[in-house]
Amino acid sequence: MKIAIGNDHVAVEMKNEIMAYLESKGVEVVNVGTDTPERFNYPVSGYRVAKLVASGEVDGGVLICGTGVGISLAANKVRGIRACVCSEPYTARLAKEHNNANIIAFGARVIGVELAKMIVDEWMNARFQGGRHSERVAMIMEIEETQGLKEI
Ligand code: RB5
């Protein structure tokens, strides 16, 4: 498995810990975030990770900023991306099983690193369940593609 990871300046330490954790599990990690404490605008990392995920160069993405909000908002502007902010493992699992989230995001100012590892594990180990969820995810993508929804 190959995962892209990105972060801003407030999440360097957590990014390093999550990278090491993923690598210890045999995951190949592509780091496109910042590695220094100098101010770094989170949309840059959000966009970089999103492009790698959308192009299929990696299997998924992990994004970390202060809250996970800004960086996921940026990623979600790239066509084909479903980035979810999660602060606990249950939402992380359902984000993949029901919403087919291809990027998981969280906040270095919100959760600790051990919880972050659990969130990443739940999301990576979960599988999209398809079925009724496929229809709903297709509707999300329809809004993205057409700025409309046939059904309404
Ligand atoms: C940076 O100060 C902070 O705004 C950023 O890390 C993030 O929380 C934005 O959503």
Element (DSSP H or E) covering residue 61? strand 60-65
- Residue 151 inside a domain? The answer is no
Tell me what pLDDT residue 35 has. Answer: 98
CATH classification at residue 28: 3.40.1400.10
65 lines ligand 1 (CB under 6 A): yes
Closest residue by Cα to atom 2, ligand 1, is 66
For the annotated catalytic residues, the residue numbers are 65, 98
Tell me what pLDDT residue 80 has. Answer: 98
Per-residue pLDDT tens digits for 78-119:
999 999 999 999 999 999 999 999 999 999 999 999 999 999
Domain that holds residue 88: 2-146
- Residue 152 inside a domain? The answer is no
Q: How many CA atoms lie within 13 A of 25 on its CB side?
A: 15
Mean residue pLDDT across the chain: 98
Number of structural domains in the chain = 1
Q: Tell me the two tokens of residue 20.
A: 């090491």
N-to-C CA span, the chain: 39
Burial of 78 (0-12, 13-18, 19+ CB in 10 A): buried
Q: Using a cut of 0.85, tell me whether the model's pTM lies above it.
A: yes
